[in-house]
């Protein structure tokens, strides 16, 4: 039974892996361009495992910023994982705390979406979490290694269309999470709010603030719609 659940976790991670491969590859290329060695780029993906945070750190390095700036930015960006982990606690009560905490190291936006979609209908197990989170993390590390290794041979990653990999992956995950009209309305309204906020707020502030605003309003709408249903 445990082996089956591990395989189910691996299977469900495939859409995530397909998204992580180009993103991790692009990060490896950028890390190489920023002056990081193959080992340094790899260890960043092993120890951090936060795509957005790693991209921000590389951007700060390229801009000549201080280390404390990259750390502060990562703390701010990754605060959402506190909410993710908290919302998962009721589903993980049958898993020993230390095992759940260890496996939760692999918690990302994508693994959270896939896991929560499963936990609506099936009980959470350590075996499934291991298959899902570890496979996703290994894909990210492997693609980082490949990108950092081949980084000297590749210039601009945009010409390969790698920049669209992240939006495409989120769209796929969103489709998996939509089960009724309320979910669809929340998704559409959140997207509209995000676009509107980005239009109204100055470009220097919009990259993060529009996402935060859309997240807060979208989550509130989701609660409201669920209560009415």
pTM of the model: 0.71
227 by Cβ neighbours in 10 Å (0-12 / 13-18 / 19+) ranks as: exposed
pLDDT value at residue 227: 61
Q: Could you state, in order of their start, the residue ranges of all structural domains in the chain?
A: 2-177, 179-229
Q: Which two tokens stand for residue 27?
A: 């990060």
- Per-residue pLDDT tens over the stretch 152-192: 676 565 666 655 655 665 676 677 667 777 778 888 888 88
Q: What is the mean pLDDT of residues 32-45?
A: 88
Q: What angle do CA 80, 86, 91 make, to 5 degrees?
A: 130
Residue whose structure tokens are 């807060």: 216
Q: Which two tokens stand for residue 217?
A: 């309003």
pLDDT value at residue 151: 73
pLDDT value at residue 206: 47
Q: Which of 44-53, 90-99, 127-136 is most confident?
A: 127-136
Say how far apart CA 207 and CA 203 lie, in whole Å: 7
- Per-residue pLDDT tens over the stretch 192-226: 887 887 777 665 444 555 666 777 777 777 777 76
Say how far apart CA 110 and CA 173 lie, in whole Å: 7
- Per-residue pLDDT tens over the stretch 100-158: 888 888 898 889 989 988 888 888 889 999 999 999 999 999 999 998 888 767 656 56
């Amino acid at each position: 039974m445990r082996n089956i659940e591990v395989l189910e976790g691996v299977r469900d991670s495939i859409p995530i892996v397909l998204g992580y491969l180009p993103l991790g590859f692009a990060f490896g290329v950028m890390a190489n361009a920023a002056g990081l060695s193959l080992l340094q780029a790899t260890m960043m993906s092993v120890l951090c495992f936060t795509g957005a945070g790693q991209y921000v750190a590389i951007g700060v390095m390229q801009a000549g910023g201080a280390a404390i700036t990259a750390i502060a930015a990562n703390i701010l960006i990754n605060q959402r994982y506190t909410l993710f982990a908290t919302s998962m606690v009721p589903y993980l009560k049958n898993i020993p705390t230390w095992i759940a905490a260890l496996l939760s190291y692999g918690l990302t936006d994508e693994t959270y979406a896939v896991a929560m979609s499963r936990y609506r209908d099936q009980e959470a197990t350590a075996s499934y979490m291991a298959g899902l989170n570890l496979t996703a993390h290994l894909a990210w590390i492997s693609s980082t290694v490949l990108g950092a290794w081949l980084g000297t041979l590749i210039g601009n990653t945009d010409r390969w269309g790698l920049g669209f990999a992240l939006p495409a992956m989120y769209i796929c995950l969103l489709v998996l999470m939509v089960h009724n009209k309320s979910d669809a309305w929340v998704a559409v309204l959140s997207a509209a709010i995000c676009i509107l906020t980005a239009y109204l707020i100055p470009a220097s502030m919009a990259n993060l603030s529009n996402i935060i605003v859309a997240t807060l309003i979208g989550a509130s709408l989701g609660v409201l719609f669920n209560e009415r249903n």
